[in-house]
Copies of this chain bind each other. A is one copy, B any other.
Amino acid sequence: MTQRHEQVDIELGDRSYPILIGPGLLSDPSLLRSHVTARDVLVVTNETIASLYLPKLTTALDGKRVVSLALPDGEEFKTLDSYARILDALMDARMNRDAAVVALGGGVVGDMAGFAAASYQRGIDYVQVPTTLLAQVDSSVGGKTAVNHPKGKNMIGAFYQPRCVIADTSTLATLPDREYRAGIAEVVKYGLIYDPAFFDWLEANVEALLSRADAALIHAIRRSCEIKAEVVGVDEREQGLRAILNLGHTFGHAIETAMGYGNWLHGEAVAAGMVMAADMSSALGWLAAADRDRTVKLLTRFGLPTQSPRIGAAEGRQLMGMDKKVLDRKLRLVLLRRLGQADIVSDYPNEVLEATLKQHFG
């Protein structure tokens, strides 16, 4: 039985791959057969997702040799040790260069499994089955894989493209509400930085998205992946334009760090950070005040925070300055020229940044 689904083709020459988006995909044997060509497969997942979806995926992969590895769930396990466990599992199962790693889970699982696939025998096939909204709209495009170093996030990794991404919208039904909404923050981001019409569509579809209706989800995920692909496509290795994907992330990084990782979800910090970027963009006379207000209202309707905790302007500034995206100590910020158009800016008046920090961080 083949489900209704949509497809986004990521064009990268001989590393091109499709993103398949729709309900029930991970339990569809014929779809998996046509997109996972390896006969030997290691499924990497986490303990939470394993109990929900691993049996379904394994059944749908019937006919292949499938080995699975469930790692503990959480960003704190995105380490070189977990990466080594994936490599051990590949070795123990005597997987060769024709094997594939399938990542079943959120961004943490995908990042680790992707780096393991990139480096096992210098690269074997990698298939993503993202089960969180954040992973479906973010990790599906861009080829970033990594693990954390104790002294910095995502410091160890590779650029490595999957053979295929299977974004099964049915898996979002079991996503905790807070995590789901955090994923929406990134969807809103795509409208803000690149596509005012998509922003309009989001405003008109808040209820459908909050009820996780398939049609709305498929459109939101597809458009998010398309936008990310357009932005990344011209800039695969993150020199220029790609940085606009970090809207709200530099401010948000300070919030995440100050509050301790995990207390604010990434998407929540990004939401509050995007409001800071919108405020600063308005103060510079770029973003219309009405569009700044629409941004706050939309995030609020999605149940996302629009006000940073009072971490203190000095503390916040310092945490932003330690962000690894800083080039030569000069703080480049992603700001909005207008709704739907972001820019990377470093020639802003410092007092405007200071006022924004003061207003939000206190």
Contact = CB atoms under 8 A, between A and B. Distances in A.
A123 interface: yes
A152 interface: yes
Contact of A91 (B122, B144, B152, B158): B152
A61 to B, nearest CB: 21
Interface in A308-362: 324
B121 A159 contact: no
A157 interface: yes
Contact of A159 (B123, B146, B324): B123
Contacts of A197: none
A112 to B, nearest CB: 13
Given A87-B149, A144-B122, A151-B91, A96 B324 contact: yes
Interface residues of A, number: 26
A155 B324 contact: no
B155 A120 contact: yes
Given A87-B155, A91-B149, A119 B119 contact: yes
A156 interface: yes
A188 interface: no
Interface in A110-128: 115, 118-123
Interface in A86-121: 87-88, 91-92, 96-97, 115, 118-121
A157 to B, nearest CB: 5
Interface of A: 80, 84, 87-88, 91-92, 96-97, 115, 118-123, 144, 146, 149, 151-152, 155-159, 324
